[in-house]
Amino acid sequence: IVCHLDPQHYTLSFNRNIMHEIKLLIFFSTGSRVKTDCTEFRSTSCLPCLEGTYMNQPTGLKDCFPCTNCNTDPGLKIKTSCTSTSDTVCEPLEGFYCMDVKDKGCEAAQRHRHCEPGQYISKKGTASTDTECSDCTDGTFSNGTFTSCQHTPGFLLQSICSIYTFSCKNVPLSFQM
């Protein structure tokens, strides 16, 4: 009996003098790893993956893959926890969007853009897209958190500008003090 390693499975070959070969394929189940390889006297034995590791495909590997850690990126959280047969799936936290998608999960996230005073939120950010900002037109105002620009009387606008300590962009001269 001869034991051969193939990337997808182990093959036990029984060689006979009459030149024919019988092959026995031993597939390893997901969630397990090889404990001892086959020999001419014993078959391969397997063990379950250890805590914090997984095996999502049948292989002949002696170690399972380490589970992904969502905490390495401050903008990620766990969507689906790691099991012995599947890796952790991460997703962006609220206020973040995914910049690097991998296997239905997210590897890296970034905080949504904040619009500046004089801009409004033209498209709210999602888990997969960043916030889009647009400039207000003359005679209108937004502090950067509005979803549209507002028409504001000059004296009230100057008060708002003072409170928020930013310049009053796009305000007609007749409204400025």
CATH classification at residue 83 = 2.10.50.10
- The answer to whether position 11 is within a domain reads no
Which domain range does residue 149 map to?
A: 119-172
Please give the pLDDT value at position 2. Answer: 40
Q: Which residue has the higher pLDDT, 25 or 52?
A: 52
Residue 2 counted as domain residue: no
Secondary structure of the chain in HEC code, one letter for each residue: CEEEECCCCEEEEEECCCCCEEEEEECCCCCEEEEECCCCCCCCEEEECCCCEECCCCCCCCCCEECCCHHHCCCEEEEECCECCECCEEEECCCEEEEEEECCEEEEEEECCCCCCCEEEEECCCCCCCCEEEECCCCEECCCCCCCCEECCHHHHHHHHHHHCCCCCCCCHHHCC
Q: Are 151 and 129 contained in the same domain?
A: yes
Are 9 and 26 in contact by the 8 Å Cβ rule? The answer is yes
Q: What is the pLDDT of residues 119-153, one digit of tens each?
A: 999 999 999 999 999 999 988 889 999 999 998 66
* Residue 29 in domain: no
Last residue of a domain, one of 67, 85, 111: 111
Per the structure, the count of domains in the chain is 2
Which tokens sit at 120?
């409004």
The pLDDT tens digits for 102-118 are 888 999 999 999 999 99
| pLDDT for residue 169 | 53
In a domain, 89, yes or no: yes
* Domain end call among 62, 90, 111: 111
Give domain status of residue 81, yes or no: yes
The model's pTM: 0.63
Query: 64, 91, 111: which is the final residue of a domain?
Result: 111
